């Protein structure tokens, strides 16, 4: 019988004395001790599709409860250096992540004699897959068919939900972890300590289209650039360059109806469409507002110059 499966059969927490003296296992350093109480199950969606069974454990150094997860590694993985390297890379990557919304990894090692990978993390108590799935078969079916947790649709923050969905995407469509690390969601929020960045007019071009002269204005705020032509026609076509959530830049063109649209309404719609962080709304709104102010002044001068 699989040693991990055998330990699952005793899921009731032991007595307090048993937790201290009759613990099930301790890590190689002696810092962590594991008891037999199962607190969660997790099926890894990426190859080699490990089934992690989490047990309640204790960190003797910090004096806090932790989660000790185990998974049996089959011979096809143990005997393949490439698969083992991939597994170790995934674990090392998790160990480097430091974010208040991501569970911390404290220790990991592979017991080659038993063919078991061990991972010690924070003890997460707000729920597990059993709250939505009633059995291992149910969990496997939902994961393999790409059925997302119902709780995901309760997430209102566009940036947070986008990040979670990127992690839950099918393997063929999933963003590499290196790109996820560059996501603005994982970056330090320095907006509170940084001085406010004002909108600046950085360039005025005089372009000719079909023999007609037209001024083009470019506005900047931080890494955002907005360009638009001073045309009498409405709507006006604007071009916005902005940083995307994965470390690159994206440029989009969109019409602006001066009579109906507002900077805020356009900014909110754009943030939702391109999954931009909430702070982008204020920046885009201010850029559009600055352009509209210059555009109205330009229209007034044009009308005054007409015979």
pLDDT recorded at residue 188: 62
pLDDT recorded at residue 79: 67
Cis check for the bond before 48: say yes or no (omega within 30 of 0): yes
pLDDT recorded at residue 13: 42
Q: In 10 A of CB 240, how many CB atoms?
A: 22
Q: Could you give the CA distance from residue 286 to residue 292 in angstroms, rounded to a whole number?
A: 10
Name residue, tokens 């994965």.
246
pLDDT recorded at residue 267: 87
pLDDT recorded at residue 189: 56
Fold matches, 3-147 and 200-305: no
Q: In 10 A of CB 297, how many CB atoms?
A: 11
Closest to 110 measured CA to CA, from 126, 88, 93, 129: 88
Average the pLDDT over 66-86 and give the result.
77
Q: Are 274 and 258 in contact (CB under 8 A)?
A: no
pLDDT recorded at residue 11: 38
> What are the structural domain ranges in the chain?
3-147, 200-305
Q: Could you give the CA distance from residue 231 to residue 295 in angstroms, rounded to a whole number?
A: 8
Q: In 10 A of CB 7, how many CB atoms?
A: 20
Residue 31 has pLDDT above 90, yes or no: yes
Closest to 267 measured CA to CA, from 230, 242, 297, 233: 242
Residue 103 has pLDDT above 90, yes or no: no
Q: 263 burial class (0-12, 13-18, 19+ CB within 10 angstroms)?
A: buried
pLDDT recorded at residue 68: 92
pLDDT digits (tens, 9 = 90+) for 36-65: 888 877 655 455 555 678 899 999 998 889
Percent of the chain with pLDDT over 90: 9
Name residue, tokens 């790409």.
146
pLDDT recorded at residue 302: 64
Q: Left (φ > 0), alpha (ψ -120 to 50) or beta: where does 259 sit?
A: alpha
Average the pLDDT over 186-215 and give the result.
55
pLDDT digits (tens, 9 = 90+) for 78-88: 667 777 777 77
pLDDT digits (tens, 9 = 90+) for 119-161: 999 887 655 545 666 666 677 777 777 777 777 778 777 778 8
pLDDT recorded at residue 32: 95
- From residue 86, how far is each of 90, 215, 264 by CA, in Å? 6, 55, 45
pLDDT recorded at residue 95: 76
What's the whole-model pTM score?
A: 0.38
CATH code of 3-147, in short, is: 3.30.200.20
pLDDT recorded at residue 307: 57
Percent of the chain with pLDDT over 70: 68
Mean pLDDT for the chain overall: 74
How sure is the predictor about 273, in pLDDT bands with cuts at 50, 70 and 90? confident
Q: Could you give the CA distance from residue 230 to residue 217 in angstroms, rounded to a whole number?
A: 8
- What percent of the residues of the chain are helix, what percent strand, and what percent coil, each to the nearest 5? 35, 30, 35
pLDDT digits (tens, 9 = 90+) for 215-247: 678 888 888 999 887 765 667 888 999 987 777
pLDDT recorded at residue 82: 75
Q: Could you give the CA distance from residue 110 to residue 118 in angstroms, rounded to a whole number?
A: 6
CATH topology of domain 200-305: Ubiquitin-like (UB roll) (3.10.20)
Measure the N-to-C terminal CA separation of the chain; round to a whole number of Å: 95
How sure is the predictor about 29, in pLDDT bands with cuts at 50, 70 and 90? very high
Average the pLDDT over 265-292 and give the result.
85
If one compares 100 and 233, the residue with the highest pLDDT of the two is 100
If one compares 188 and 178, the residue with the highest pLDDT of the two is 178
């Amino acid at each position: 019988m699989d040693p991990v499966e055998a330990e699952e059969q005793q899921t009731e927490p032991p007595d307090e004395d048993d937790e201290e003296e009759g613990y099930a296992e301790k890590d190689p350093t002696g810092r962590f001790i594991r008891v037999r109480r199962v607190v969660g199950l997790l099926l890894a969606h990426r190859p080699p599709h490990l089934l992690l069974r989490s047990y309640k454990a204790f960190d003797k150094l910090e004096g806090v409860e932790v989660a000790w997860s185990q998974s049996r590694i089959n011979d096809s993985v143990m005997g393949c250096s490439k698969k083992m390297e991939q597994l170790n890379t995934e674990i090392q990557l998790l160990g480097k992540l430091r974010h208040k919304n991501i569970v911390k990894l404290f220790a990991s090692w592979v017991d080659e004699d038993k063919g078991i990978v061990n991972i010690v993390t924070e003890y997460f108590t707000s729920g597990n897959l059993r709250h939505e799935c009633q059995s291992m078969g149910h969990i496997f079916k939902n994961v393999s068919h790409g059925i997302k947790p119902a709780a995901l649709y309760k997430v209102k923050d566009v940036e947070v939900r986008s990040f979670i969905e990127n992690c839950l995407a099918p393997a063929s469509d999933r963003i590499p972890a290196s790109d996820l690390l560059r996501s603005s969601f994982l970056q330090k929020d320095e907006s509170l300590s940084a001085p406010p960045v004002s909108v600046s007019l950085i360039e005025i071009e005089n372009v000719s289209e079909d023999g007609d002269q037209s001024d083009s204005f470019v506005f900047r705020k931080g890494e955002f650039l907005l360009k638009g032509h001073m045309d009498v026609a409405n709507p006006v076509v604007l071009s916005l360059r902005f940083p995307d959530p994965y470390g690159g830049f994206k440029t989009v063109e969109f019409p602006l109806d001066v009579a109906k649209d507002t900077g805020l309404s356009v900014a909110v719609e754009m943030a939702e469409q391109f999954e931009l962080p909430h702070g982008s709304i204020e920046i885009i709104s201010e850029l559009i507002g600055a352009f509209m102010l210059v555009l109205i002044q330009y229209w007034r001068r044009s009308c005054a110059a007409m015979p």
